[in-house]
Chain A
């Protein structure tokens, strides 16, 4: 039994292995995406780490403002572009508000990368359907750029992205690039347009239904607010996607990010350690609906 393995466990430790001590990063650039979302670009203060640091699309990190606290963010830049790193920050609480007050040159804490990642191995050779809503484009964008930087490894690609209003669309510079790319089928929608808006109106799930991408040899990746995810799953099912062809990321309140502090569990799983990337098949098998 496992209990005998854990008996009298004594481990060699030194201070360098204290995972709670953040690395220092410096803010290089700030992009105001929407009135409440900004992207910060950063690099490590330690030049060695700048060379060594790697992560995979879908992983997250704990950013900290000393004296205010830590908060959880996915890394929104692509692992294929390791000259700097990016996180999208939605202003919703104390730490995110402090991150919104920062200027270029500020020093903040970073620990990570944590969690699992998108299954690029499974996606290779397939048709890909990316479905995103609002700030949910942050993890998706990391994956999309990762895929586009190896474009010949994948077949057809559709990107369906929406936000509440034109002003809430994040990463507009990426959206422009993807819309201009003839090898992609990019559809942008907003729940409600304004006087200037000439594009599509309606929910992401509706845009997905209209676009009706084929489920044959395909993988769909869905990231966004829970309401959007919940309304998207049935549409994908109607389109013939099996639960294991649908991948998403889940968001929970987190503190430690490494499966210790306890709060991010769904049944016996910890989103920080066993996720944040799950297939719809896995989610359907969850004991609990607490996500």
Chain B
């Protein structure tokens, strides 16, 4: 529901109020790379330069690497210690594509077994969405049925209408955040008209589109076409960047370190682009590059629809922007032969 707005010059005050109760996370440049990181309680310049992060907000729940447990050996055996995640965090500036992506991987980490490390961070998080008014050329969220100014997967949604942000609240957590602040103003009839204008303009700024209709069926019938996949994967150098930066990629590795009698078990991002990912002592089911590329494309557009009824590509465009060899997933989807899905009769 739209009830409140906040003036841009009061954003620092608003975030400051939240920062007293929870950790406020904002778009930040860390070592030259834009990701979500703790706010310094001061700088709000990101409001001017922020378009979307390079590292997706999944890193707040599934960090690049994290300690799962530490262990110490003593005379009675091993003593295990698990880090706790008690603090609350508010992530400010989540884009609608990434909010949907979070909802998708929420499911992965909660189905059958709860993943303690992911869920303990996720459930203590409130998401504040920010409408896109300046999308990249490579963004194609509308092709995944995402409106760049709307999200059902955030607690609050901010939309820039000039001097103010109009705020929509969706959850009890979102309302609680609003109630903490005294810098908010009431929205007027004029604001409501303005927001409609802004929304329409934002949607029209997304120029890149790809027809994802029946992509799962088309991929299904091309699945065993080795020539096709060899051609598609030819220029990929298996660097894994596209998967690390994808907001719906969730694969991880688990490894131990130990020095003398103390050590830790870590987990960190892994990627289906790597040979080692599936390698077994005697054989490797995805030794060939075309199989690994096929895995990535089909996981997003075929396996996810089979299991969850939804494409796992949200159209954020990160994999297109960051690929060193300009591999473009939309070209693959667009290039699927139209008759492919029909032939299979699935």
Q: How far is the CA of A174 from the CA of B250 in the complex (A)?
A: 43
Q: Which residue of A lies closest to B68 (CB)?
A: A20
* B258 contacts chain A at the CB level, 8 A cutoff: yes
Report the bound CA distance from A9 to B280 in whole Å. 35
Of residues 1 to 55 in A, which have CB atoms within 8 Å of B's CB atoms? 1-4, 6-11, 13, 15, 17-22, 24, 45
A7→B153 contact, CB < 8 A: yes
Q: Mark B267-289, 1 if CB is under 8 A from A, else 0.
A: 00010100001111111011000
Please name the residue on chain A nearest to B258 by beta carbon.
Answer: A67
- Expressed in whole angstroms, the Cα–Cα distance for A288 and B110 within the complex equals 26
Judge if B49 is at the interface, Cβ distance under 8 Å: no
B243 (CB) vs chain A CBs: closest residue: A262
List of B residues within 8 angstroms of A17 by Cβ: 114, 116
A251 within 8 A of B: yes
State whether the Cβ of B228 lies closer than 8 Å to any Cβ in chain A.
no
Q: Which of A118-126, A163-171, A237-245, A263-271 contacts B (4 or more CB under 8 A)?
A: A263-271
Is B18 interfacial (CB 8 A cutoff)? no
| Nearest opposing residue in chain B for A68, CB measure | B256
Given contacts A262-B251, A263-B277, contact A13 B114 (CB under 8 A): yes
Residue of A2, A92, A263, A268 near B302 (CB, 8 A) is A268
Instruction: Scan residues 204-231 of chain B and give those whose CB is less than 8 A from a CB of chain A.
Output: 220, 223-224
Answer whether residue B33 sits at the interface, using C-beta atoms and an 8 A cutoff.
no
Instruction: Give the contacts of B102-119 with A (CB-CB under 8 A).
Output: 103-104, 106-117, 119
Are B106 and A9 in contact, CB atoms less than 8 angstroms apart?
Answer: yes
Contacts of A4 in B (CB 8 A): 152
Query: Are the C-beta atoms of A259 and B258 separated by less than 8 Å?
Result: no
Q: Shortest distance in angstroms between A1's beta carbon and chain B's nearest beta carbon?
A: 6
B82 interfacial contact with A, CB 8 Å = yes
Tell me if A209 is interfacial: C-beta within 8 Å of chain B. Answer: no
Neighbouring A residues of B220 by C-beta, 8 Å: 287
Decide if B256 touches A67 in the complex (CB within 8 Å): yes
User: Which of B77, B82, B251 sits near A263, CB closer than 8 Å?
Assistant: B251
Check A259–B112 contact: CB distance below 8 A. Answer: yes
Contact B282 A225 (CB under 8 A): yes
Q: B310 and A3: CB pair below 8 A?
A: yes
Least CB distance from A13 to B in Å reads: 6
Task: Report whether A19 and B116 are in contact in the complex, using a CB–CB cutoff of 8 Å.
Answer: yes
Residues of B within 8 A of A9 (CB): 106-107, 110, 122-123
Most chain B CB neighbours (cut-off 10 Å) among A18, A19, A252: A18
**B39 at the binding interface (Cβ < 8 Å):** no
Contact of B280 among A21, A45, A253, A256 (CB under 8 A): A253
Interface string of B295-319 (1 = CB under 8 A from A): 1001100110011111000000000
Query: Is the CB of A273 closer than 8 A to any CB of chain B?
Result: yes
Which residue in B84, B104, B123, B285 is a CB contact (below 8 Å) of A15?
B84
- Complex CA gap A226/B285 in Å reads 11
A25 to B113, CA, bound (A): 22
Contact of A20 with B116 at beta-carbon distance under 8 Å, contacts A15-B82, A267-B303 already known: yes
Cβ–Cβ < 8 Å partners of A267 in chain B: 298, 303
Number of interface residues of B (CB under 8 A): 67
Are the C-beta atoms of B153 and A69 separated by less than 8 Å? Answer: no
Most-contacted residue by chain B among A20, A65, A226, A289 (CB, 10 A): A20
Residues in A whose Cβ lies below 8 Å from that of B258? 66-68
Q: Is the CB of B113 within 8 A of A258?
A: yes
Interface size class of A (residues with CB under 8 A): 35 or more
Cα-based distance from A10 to B299 in the complex (angstroms):
26
Q: Which residues of A contact B180 (CB under 8 A)?
A: none
Contact with A along B148-190 (1 / 0, CB 8 A): 0000110000000000000000010000000000000000000
Nearest CB on B from A141, distance (A) = 21
Of all chain B residues, the one with the shortest Cβ separation from A20 is: B68
The reply to whether the CB of A86 lies closer than 8 angstroms to some CB of chain B is no
Residue pair B283, A226 in contact (C-beta under 8 Å): yes
A152 within 8 A of B: no
Shortest A127–chain B CB gap in Å is 32
Q: Does B343 contact A (CB under 8 A)?
A: no
Which one of B80, B103, B279 lies within 8 Å of A7 (CB-CB)? Answer: B103
CB of B78 closer than 8 Å to a CB of A = yes
Asked whether any CB of chain A lies closer than 8 Å to the CB of B138, the reply is: no
Q: In this complex, what residue of A is CB-closest to B291? A: A290
B113 near A260 (CB under 8 angstroms)? yes
**A16–B236 alpha-carbon span in the complex (Å):** 43
Residue of A nearest to B280 (CB): A253
- Which residue of chain B has the shortest Cβ distance to A267 in the bound complex? B303
A271-290 interface with B by 8 A CB criterion: 273, 287-290
In the bound complex, how far is the Cα of B245 from the Cα of A93, in angstroms? 30
Q: Which of A65, A260, A288, A291 has the largest number of chain B CB atoms within 10 A?
A: A260
Distance between B242 CB and nearest chain A CB, rounded to angstroms = 15
How far, in whole Å, are A288 and B82 apart by their CA atoms in the complex? 38
Q: Which of B73, B78, B310 contacts A1 (CB 8 A)?
A: B310
Bound-complex Cα distance A54 to B109 (A)? 25
- 3 nearest A-B residue pairs (beta carbon): A67-B258, A262-B251, A92-B281
List 25 interface pairs A-B (beta carbons < 8 Å), by A numbering.
A4-B152, A6-B110, A11-B119, A17-B114, A17-B116, A18-B116, A19-B113, A21-B80, A21-B82, A66-B263, A69-B254, A69-B256, A69-B265, A70-B256, A251-B280, A253-B279, A255-B252, A256-B254, A258-B112, A259-B111, A260-B108, A264-B278, A265-B303, A268-B302, A290-B291
